[in-house]
Structure 1
Amino acid sequence: MNPFVFTFSIIFSGFVLGLFFQRYLKQRSSLVSLVLTKIALMALIPFSVFVSLWQLSNIRTELLYLPLIGAAVIGAGTLVGILVARKNNLTPVQTGALVPVTALYNIGALGNLVLFITFGENGVAMMALFKLFEELTYFGLVFPYAKSKSQDEALKSTQNKQVWKDPIFLIAMCAISLGLLLNVSGVPRPEFLLSVSHWTIPVGTFLLIASVGLTFNLKGGKRWQKVALTATIARSAVAVVLVSILLSLFNLWGIEDHLVAKVCLILAVMPTAFMGTLPAVLYDLDKEVANTSWITSYFISMILTPIMLVFLSTI
């Protein structure tokens, strides 16, 4: 099956299945969504990162620039959301809902799947380094900003969760650290782990998309369609330009037979992570803005991703 068709068939089927169970399991949809999310983020995806880093050959010092590029992309997305909100005169609760959607990228789930199908485990390993500072940026910058826009004084006064105490962050760091440690130690990776990772990556992505469908509600879609289109197109354009500049600045274009550059550029056009809609729920922000912008980012990504893949095939 074509990699693009396979990727988006997982997205479509997972999302539709989530919507189906949301309709018939209304009272338990939030609980089921939480369980699926934890299985994916705390087991399947960390495992795929661990086994991919273990087998990566010739870890070069230039790869240490990847986390900086990843953090820069998230920071640029945050700035794009703020600027679009100001241009459209959005209220604080609308701004607080929009910014996480432009800042958070679906790197660990969808990006993971696209890179695995396109480049194999080396692509996944590069992705793990690219997103190394992801959680720190999310919980240290994006979530506090969104909370500051809440009109609920009780929520605004609550203490931010410390990222180093978050179990998802801790598991991700352990997976990356252990994978790198076994890699540099020269311990050979068992062959059966390769076949296991072939299903953990797509299943992890499927579960995360299904978890979104279980809680998704698209009200006010027409009202916020223009803002959502502007924000999602602008953040992708800015991300691609920024990544290109940083790849040149750090002299990374030719590293690993152009694999580093290809990974970074593909991740720059990924849609919004499912967590992009969470601040709207947690801090009582405008859920219509968040949900409309989230789903719009997937339509834009469905156009940009194949274009990017065709372009990168010429490099």
Structure 2
Amino acid sequence: MDRLIITLVIIFASLAAGYALKCRVAVNAAPDSLRKFDAMRIKIQKIAMFGLIPISAMLSLWGLPAPAPRLLFLPVLGLCAWMTGGVSAIMLSRFLSLDRRQTGSMFCCGSFTNIGAVGSLVCVMQYGEQTIALASLYRLCEEFFYFAVAYPIARWYSLPAESAPRLDFTAFRMEPVLKAVLMALSMGLALNLFGVPRPDVFGTCASASMIAGTICFLLSIGMGLRLSSLASYLRESACLSLIKFLIVPVIIITAASLLGLGSIDDGLPLKVVAILSAMPVAMNALIPPSIFHLDLDLANSCWIITTLALIIVVPVLYAVLPAL
């Protein structure tokens, strides 16, 4: 129970602190102050994305014991989770009779998942530092999927149906965040494979970096929260929550169980998969709707609603996980 409370406090206190800062700056603030505030928000986010979270993954992979071959299914399960969420969101959009711009936003929210910050935090708080490496393996292909698959699909939905060309997945670019993640994972795996002993203190550093990175990331998210459009998209947000917290977890947990992950290390990999497959919409789900002129308010609402739903989802996870 203490771990549950601490996890929820970290998540919502960080979000609330960021939003409180935003409200304070917004009151009678000069345009120059708002620009400086936004620049500070982006810097805090970059510290988490390019520094603390990748460092945590590197240190944890460095200390990972010789992995069971079945753990190689973790990246595949991650891919399946994002594709399941995206396809389910498209099907749901058709059922709700949404237009192309709204469908594109729903696809982004269905596939983009907050694994690196919130998902890893829940894993670490419940099961310790060794879960960071498992979470890193699960999200090994995350950035590739987002930039090589999700972005082209989002761009395609921004075009009118009558003039939309065939989907093009050839315009892949090595984005900076992808380079940072790959560099960290490569360094951690290289140190592990070459048998370089990891000092014990680095295990504590890995956990501390993950928690600090999560706080920075959620603080920056709170600094950019927009609550004005929530009421307009409650139906869509509620339906997307069913995808994120029910449909995707049931499918991915079942697949992980059939692959035998429950028989490794007292079922720890299966528990990590269960947590990561039931996480809310990621902050970066708002990027494609913004740059491709999709329905940004819809994406913002789904992101906020699913994040707030953690106050219910995390306790349910803590109650269910011992049975896996």
TM-score, structure 2 as length reference: 0.89
Match of residue 245, structure 2, among 215, 233, 236: 236
RMSD: 2.2
SS, match of residue 179 in structure 1: helix
User: C-alpha separation between the residues in 2 aligned to 1:161 and 1:214?
Assistant: 35
Match of residue 47, structure 1, among 55, 63, 72: 55
Match of residue 231, structure 2, among 222, 232, 237: 222
CA contact (8 A) 1:3 1:117 kept: yes
CA contact (8 A) 2:4 2:318 kept: no
Task: Output one character per residue of 1:247-273: Cα deviation in whole Å (capped at 9) or x when no partner.
Answer: 244222211210110000111111111
Change in Cα spacing, 1:220 to 1:161, as seen in structure 2 (3 Å) is: farther
CA contact (8 A) 2:152 2:169 kept: yes
User: C-alpha separation between the residues in 2 aligned to 1:67 and 1:120?
Assistant: 20
**What residue is the counterpart of 2:178 in the other structure?**
169
Q: Does 1:13 align with 2:13?
A: yes
Alignment of 1:68-147 (within 5 A): 68-147=76-155
User: C-alpha separation between the residues in 2 aligned to 1:164 and 1:91?
Assistant: 29
Task: Output one character per residue of 1:146-179: Cα deviation in whole Å (capped at 9) or x when no partner.
Answer: 1222259xxx99x989655212111211211221
User: C-alpha separation between the residues in 1 aligned to 2:228 and 2:104?
Assistant: 18
User: C-alpha separation between the residues in 1 aligned to 2:306 and 2:142?
Assistant: 19
Change in Cα spacing, 1:51 to 1:162, as seen in structure 2 (3 Å) is: farther
SS, match of residue 272 in structure 1: coil
Greater CA drift, 212-221 or 263-272: 212-221
Greater CA drift, 232-241 or 43-52: 232-241
CA contact (8 A) 1:76 1:239 kept: yes
Q: Which amino acid aligns with 1:92?
A: R
Task: Output one character per residue of 1:189-240: Cα deviation in whole Å (capped at 9) or x when no partner.
Answer: 1223223223211111111112222222122311210111111112321212
Identity among equivalent pairs (%): 29
Q: Which amino acid aligns with 2:271?
A: K
SS, match of residue 188 in structure 1: coil
CA contact (8 A) 1:269 1:301 kept: no
Change in Cα spacing, 1:305 to 1:177, as seen in structure 2 (3 Å) is: same
Match of residue 265, structure 1, among 274, 282, 302: 274
Match of residue 314, structure 2, among 296, 305, 314: 305
User: C-alpha separation between the residues in 2 aligned to 1:220 and 1:43?
Assistant: 32
User: C-alpha separation between the residues in 2 aligned to 1:306 and 1:248?
Assistant: 22
Q: What are structure 1's unaligned runs of at least 5 residues? A: none
User: C-alpha separation between the residues in 1 aligned to 2:311 and 2:147?
Assistant: 28
TM-score, structure 1 as length reference: 0.92
Q: Which amino acid aligns with 1:97?
A: S
Task: Output one character per residue of 1:32-91: Cα deviation in whole Å (capped at 9) or x when no partner.
Answer: 222112111111001100111111112121111100000000000101111121111111
Q: Which amino acid aligns with 1:5?
A: I
**What residue is the counterpart of 2:30 in the other structure?**
none
Change in Cα spacing, 1:160 to 1:210, as seen in structure 2 (3 Å) is: farther
User: C-alpha separation between the residues in 2 aligned to 1:209 and 1:3?
Assistant: 18
User: C-alpha separation between the residues in 2 aligned to 1:94 and 1:29?
Assistant: 30
Change in Cα spacing, 1:221 to 1:172, as seen in structure 2 (3 Å) is: same
CA contact (8 A) 2:57 2:185 kept: yes
**What residue is the counterpart of 1:295 in the other structure?**
304
Match of residue 38, structure 2, among 8, 26, 30: 30
Q: What are structure 2's unaligned runs of at least 5 residues? A: 26-32
